[in-house]
């Protein structure tokens, strides 16, 4: 996921976004688009794909690349308006809404297991997204980040402040495999919960 948002004083934003899908996601989406009427594709993308990454976003323009080229990533290039990318919390301060939610903990909902947890397919997500703020808006000096690992599974957050822009850089990598019950599963549950907390941290803005 790559893109850029221009944030306005009222918290709304205009966004340009490119989402690339490879592997099973690319195959699955191509199959879905084959079943969705061309006139309904924008609505499908807005409600099923764009809304997951940018809640409340309204799609203005959609271009699809490599739909028939199975050797290349399926690319969706979008332009959208987001009525509330940041919400006001009073006192001239705003909080950037959670973007690009993944909800890793949904794959380990049981507190404990008697049998191994099968991760049948790999998941890999990369985010490189810039939010350009008004020059009058005060930004934090730095942003929280971190790296979590559980075996060969990892979540890395390297968000930063660059001038009057916030840059979100995240990499989530969860290979296919098995998680054995007992201590290994307990560590995995802790990993998924901590990863979601790391990805969901709010970013405060203020004048």
- Which stretches within the chain are classed as H helix? 23-35, 41-44, 51-53, 183-199
pLDDT score recorded for residue 55:
86
Structural Rg of the chain based on CA atoms: 19
In the predicted model, residues of the chain with pLDDT beneath 50 are none
Q: Return the structure tokens found at 159.
A: 């968000």
User: Residue 203 corresponds to which tokens in the numbers above?
Assistant: 């970013």
Number of Cβ within a 10 Å radius of residue 203: 20
Which of 129, 23, 36, 122 lies closest to 73 in space, CA to CA? 23
Tokens of 75: 């690319």
Q: Which helix (H) or strand (E) holds 136?
A: none
Contact indicator for 116, 181 with CB cutoff of 8 Å: yes
pLDDT confidence of residue 207: 57
Identify the helix (H) or strand (E) that includes residue 54.
none
Three-point CA angle 37, 27, 148, nearest 5°: 120
Q: 41 — alpha (psi -120 to 50), left (phi > 0) or beta? A: alpha
Alpha-helical runs (H) found in 41-83:
41-44, 51-53
Q: What is the pLDDT of residue 36?
A: 85
Indicate the pTM of the whole model: 0.88
Strand order in the sheet with 86-90: 86-90, 93-96, 203-206
Residues 116-139 pLDDT 10s: 999 988 899 999 999 999 988 888
- Strand-strand pairing, 58-65 and 160-162: unpaired
């Amino acid at each position: 996921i790559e893109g850029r948002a221009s944030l306005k004083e009222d918290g709304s934003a205009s966004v340009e976004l490119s989402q690339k899908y490879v592997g099973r996601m690319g195959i699955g989406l191509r199959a879905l688009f084959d079943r969705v009427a061309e006139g309904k594709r924008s609505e499908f993308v807005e409600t099923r794909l764009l809304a997951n990454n940018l809640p409340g976003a309204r799609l203005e323009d959609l271009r699809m690349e490599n739909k028939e080229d199975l050797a290349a990533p399926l690319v969706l290039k979008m332009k959208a308006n987001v009525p509330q990318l940041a919400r006001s919390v009073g006192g001239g301060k705003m909080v950037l809404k959670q973007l690009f939610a993944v909800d890793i903990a949904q794959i380990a909902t049981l507190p404990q297991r008697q049998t191994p947890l099968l991760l049948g397919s790999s998941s890999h997500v990369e985010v490189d997204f810039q939010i350009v703020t008004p020059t009058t808006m005060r930004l934090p000096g730095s942003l929280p980040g971190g790296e979590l690992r559980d075996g060969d599974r990892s979540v890395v957050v390297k968000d930063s402040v660059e001038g009057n822009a916030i840059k979100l850089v995240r990499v989530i990598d969860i290979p296919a495999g098995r998680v054995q019950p007992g201590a290994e599963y307990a560590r995995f549950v802790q990993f998924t919960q901590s990863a979601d907390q790391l990805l969901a941290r709010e970013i405060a803005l203020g004048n």
